[in-house]
């Protein structure tokens, strides 16, 4: 240890504040208890939702096309007010949405509280950004005698395809952005979570989004593909698998007619690097949160942990010890920390991976899940080589690889070559090491000496590149413009009467 600097230990572990907007502090027991009672009273049986036909999908695009005309002419400030009203309604009906997220999600109470808050944050953030960007346009300084303005305006009908793992936040976030930018939207939620989507769309309509400007189309990937292939679609925003994003790209590329942009956020084999100077307690806490929270069903979750070999035994032991303590069970029980995975198919896939890893890797933690339900208990496997993990495994399964002090550059090469570039964790107390890693790896979201999930809207813009997506980052300043067309207007202001007021009130 002598070759590492001696640094003071922190008094407490750092846990990022998730409560970034109004609402329950997770530590406030009384408020939490009130919320839990309210959730119980609002709980209803989940209604059955039927899938759309391809004809329904085509009709939705046609309706959205007419809806675009009125909505795109609605002043940006009015569109922003509608989103703000939606945020207020979500806040007021938080208990109802939490019940839906617990039942259909199925998500833990902590995850539900965070998710409703994130949906609210998206509405408010895009409303605020929209007021700033879509108001009067940007005056471009130039020669006298003319005015030059760069304006943003809607593209047309945007198809929004969202995942089951954030059935409210990402669903609402995509729609809010597309609407704020002046588009009409045809939303296709994941087929696993139709009820939450249905409730969210009703709320947006109630908040003032015209029905024709927001159409909901329920169904599986084939319905999504039909929407993407429709000739009257002007943009696609997608969150889901890398494979599905590729398929969308191929469909868009093969279409006759206008070139249609794709905004995609996909998966990752997200790594965390822990060197010998890292603080073990902080590492254990952050690894457990990053790998196992939400049952590992976040695209941001940690999959591959690289630990410097001289501290690896101790680190792994501490991580396994903390993971063993996690409470796994019914997501409606407020004490539950890990709920079930999304469905039987997901569980079967994860179980098959666990069986393979049990044969091919060293087992450090092999939890046993409750028998009834789609539960997968946290697992920790040590690999000889990072190449043993070649694709994203979407569940509470952590893979560990040891690296020698001299092997940092090789390891960075391995991470870079994976082609995924979504999230990265670094635990080190050597600034040069941290800087070298950040510099070498063009990964979308880098988290230093903290956990690597739960990006906060407007604070930690989220998204990656390469196999992890196209950008721009959700919840960041460049997101809305990508949903819009740019229009440069150059006016001769020296002409009789001048035309300087032409663009006001946009
Ligand atoms: C996803 O899981 O599809 O930072 C993306 C986070 C979340 C991840 C959302 N914003 O953990």
Question: Which ranges of 135-193 would DSSP assign to H, the alpha helix?
Answer: 169-180
Give the mutation target among 121, 170, 450 for probing the ligand 1 site: most ligand atoms within 8 A of CB: 170
* Catalytic site includes residue 112: no
How far does the centroid of ligand 1 lie from the alpha carbon of residue 454, in Å? 6
* Catalytic site includes residue 265: yes
Give dist(CA 266, CA 383) in Å, integer: 25
Place of tokens 């990964």: 443
How far does the centroid of ligand 1 lie from the alpha carbon of residue 370, in Å? 26
- The confidence score (pLDDT) of residue 505 equals 44
Over residues 133-145, mean pLDDT: 92
Give dist(CA 359, CA 344) in Å, integer: 23
Which one is catalytic: 84, 115, 123, 299? 299
- The confidence score (pLDDT) of residue 21 equals 45
343 Cβ neighbours under 8 A, 6+ residues apart: 192, 374
- The confidence score (pLDDT) of residue 38 equals 95
Nearest atom in ligand 1 to the alpha carbon of residue 297 is 2
Over residues 486-490, mean pLDDT: 97
How far does the centroid of ligand 1 lie from the alpha carbon of residue 265, in Å? 9
Which one is catalytic: 84, 104, 118, 265? 265
- The confidence score (pLDDT) of residue 306 equals 98
Peptide bond into 129 cis (omega under 30): no
Nearest atom in ligand 1 to the alpha carbon of residue 118 is 10
- The confidence score (pLDDT) of residue 16 equals 79
Say if residue 349's pLDDT is above 90: yes
Give the mutation target among 125, 240, 268, 453 for probing the ligand 1 site: most ligand atoms within 8 A of CB: 453
Say if residue 246's pLDDT is above 80: yes
Say if residue 274's pLDDT is above 90: yes
What does 420-483 look like in DSSP terms, one character per residue? EESEEEEE-S-HHHHHHHHHH---SEEEESS----PPTTTS-B--EETTEEEPPBTSTTHHHHT
Q: Which residues pair with 346 in a beta bridge?
A: none
Nearest atom in ligand 1 to the alpha carbon of residue 240 is 3
How far does the centroid of ligand 1 lie from the alpha carbon of residue 147, in Å? 42
- The confidence score (pLDDT) of residue 497 equals 61
Residues 233, 60 contacting (CB under 8 angstroms): no
How far does the centroid of ligand 1 lie from the alpha carbon of residue 29, in Å? 27
Tens of pLDDT, residue by residue over 15-35, are: 876 554 445 666 678 888 899
Nearest atom in ligand 1 to the alpha carbon of residue 475 is 10
Nearest atom in ligand 1 to the alpha carbon of residue 298 is 2
- The confidence score (pLDDT) of residue 12 equals 77
Tens of pLDDT, residue by residue over 392-421, are: 999 999 999 999 999 999 999 999 999 999
Report the percentage of the chain scoring pLDDT > 70.
93
Over residues 416-432, mean pLDDT: 97
How far does the centroid of ligand 1 lie from the alpha carbon of residue 172, in Å? 14
Over residues 222-248, mean pLDDT: 98
- The confidence score (pLDDT) of residue 10 equals 56
- The confidence score (pLDDT) of residue 28 equals 78
HSE (side-chain half, CA atoms, 13 Å) at 404: 3
Tell me which residues have their CB closer than 6 angstroms to ligand 1: 163, 165-166, 239, 298-300, 453-455, 462
- The confidence score (pLDDT) of residue 31 equals 86
The overall average pLDDT reported for the chain is 94
240 Cβ neighbours under 8 A, 6+ residues apart: 161, 162, 163, 190, 266
- The confidence score (pLDDT) of residue 23 equals 55
Residue 272 DSSP SS3: strand
Q: Which protein residue has the closest C-alpha to ligand 1 atom 3?
A: 299
Over residues 198-209, mean pLDDT: 98
Q: Which protein residue has the closest C-alpha to ligand 1 atom 5?
A: 299
CA distances (Å), origin 460, targets 130, 449, 455 = 18, 15, 5
């Amino acid at each position: 240890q002598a070759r590492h600097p001696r640094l003071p230990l922190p008094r407490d572990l750092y846990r990022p504040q998730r409560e970034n907007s109004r609402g329950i502090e997770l530590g406030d027991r009384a408020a939490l208890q009130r919320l839990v009672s309210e959730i119980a009273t609002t709980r209803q049986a989940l209604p059955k939702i039927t899938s759309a036909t391809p004809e329904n999908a085509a009709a939705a695009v046609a309706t959205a096309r007419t809806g675009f005309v009125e909505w795109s002419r609605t002043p940006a400030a009015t569109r922003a007010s509608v989103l703000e009203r939606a945020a207020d309604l979500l806040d007021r009906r938080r208990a109802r949405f939490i019940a839906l997220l617990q039942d259909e999600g199925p998500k833990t109470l902590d995850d539900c509280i965070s998710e409703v808050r994130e949906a609210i944050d998206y509405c408010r953030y895009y409303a605020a950004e929209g007021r700033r960007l879509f108001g009067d346009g940007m005056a471009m300084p130039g020669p006298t005698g003319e005015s030059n303005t760069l304006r943003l305006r809607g593209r047309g009908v945007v198809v929004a395809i969202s995942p089951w793992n954030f059935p409210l936040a990402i669903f609402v976030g995509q729609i809010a952005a597309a609407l704020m930018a002046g588009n009409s939207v045809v939303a296709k939620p994941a087929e696993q979570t139709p009820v939450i989507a249905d409730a969210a769309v009703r709320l947006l309509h109630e908040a003032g989004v015209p029905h024709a400007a927001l159409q909901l189309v329920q169904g599986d990937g084939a319905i999504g593909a039909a929407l993407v292939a429709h000739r009257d679609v002007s943009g696609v925003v997608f969150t889901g698998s890398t494979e599905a994003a590729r398929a969308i790209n191929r469909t868009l590329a093969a279409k006759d007619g206008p070139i249609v942009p794709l905004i995609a956020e996909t998966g990752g084999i997200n790594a965390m690097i822990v060197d010998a100077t890292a603080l073990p307690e902080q590492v254990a806490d952050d690894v457990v949160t990053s790998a196992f929270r939400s049952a590992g069903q976040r695209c941001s979750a940690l999959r591959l942990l690289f630990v410097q070999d001289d501290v690896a035994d101790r680190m792994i032991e501490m991580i396994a010890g903390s993971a063993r303590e996690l409470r796994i069970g019914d997501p409606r029980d407020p004490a539950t920390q890990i709920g079930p995975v999304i469905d039987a198919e997901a569980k079967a896939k994860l179980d098959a991976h666990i069986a393979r890893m049990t044969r091919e890797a060293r087992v450090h933690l092999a939890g046993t899940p409750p028998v009834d339900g789609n539960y997968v208990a946290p697992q920790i496997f040590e690999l000889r080589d990072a190449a043993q993990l070649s694709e994203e495994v979407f569940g509470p399964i952590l893979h560990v690889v040891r690296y020698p002090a001299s092997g940092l550059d090789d390891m960075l090469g391995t991470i870079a070559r994976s082609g995924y570039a979504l999230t990265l964790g670094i635990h080190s107390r050597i600034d040069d090491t941290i800087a070298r890693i950040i510099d070498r790896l063009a990964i979308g979201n880098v988290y230093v000496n903290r956990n690597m999930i739960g990006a906060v809207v407007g604070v930690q813009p989220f998204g990656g590149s390469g196999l992890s997506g196209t950008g721009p980052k959700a919840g960041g300043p460049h997101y809305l413009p990508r949903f819009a067309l740019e229009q440069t207007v150059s006016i001769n202001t020296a002409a009789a009467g001048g035309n300087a007021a032409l663009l006001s009130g946009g």
